[in-house]
Amino acid sequence: MTLSSRWSAGRLLLQLGRLALAVVFLAAAYGKLRPQNAVPWSLASLKITPTSLGLSMTFFAMQVDSYQLLPPRAVSPFAHALPWTELGLGVLLLAGFALRYVSLASTLLLALFYAVVIRSYALHLTINCGCFGPNEKLDAWTLVRDGFLFALGIAVTIAAFTIQRRRCHALSASSPPHPERAV
């Protein structure tokens, strides 16, 4: 495999990883923001209204509180900010905007999620994960899934920084020398 074909394969894998993480963050955000009523799936059930959003945020705040990590006054602000943060990261990953920094922020958030899930699982907390909405029990599958997503985040972040460095190096090598540097 030549250097240019490895670079192309690396860029393709970066794009696929970036898109996979974008879908995960968008799905996680929607799972927390969507209406929590027991309506069967339909196009109407996808609609987020102010009333359903308030109810969804209340349910999610209870899930955040069940992890027993935050003081009571911090639970609601965290629960209200997290889905919007996930939505923003998902949109930015999808767009590929500032990929190095967005992938780094995504990976740090995934690291936090993974650490919290490991801690909760080790403490044998019988709680809903809340990762993709309600009624998702925290179990061994959650550990495996979150570990895989964290590893994917690390790979995307490393690839984003590596490819940007190669791109900058290639641009500097192909540009003509500056007149003041010439001897």
What does the pLDDT look like over 87-127, one tens digit per residue?
999 999 999 999 999 999 999 999 999 999 999 999 999 99
**In this structure, what token pair is assigned to residue 76?**
């609601």
Q: CA quadruple 163, 108, 62, 130: dihedral positive or negative?
A: positive
What does the pLDDT look like over 63-78, one tens digit per residue?
999 999 999 999 999 9
Of 140 and 3, more confident: 140
Flag whether pLDDT at 129 surpasses 90: no
**Residue 183's pLDDT is what?**
41
**Nearest one of 153, 41, 60, 139 to 105, comparing CA atoms:** 153
Cα separation, 56 vs 48, in Å, equals: 10
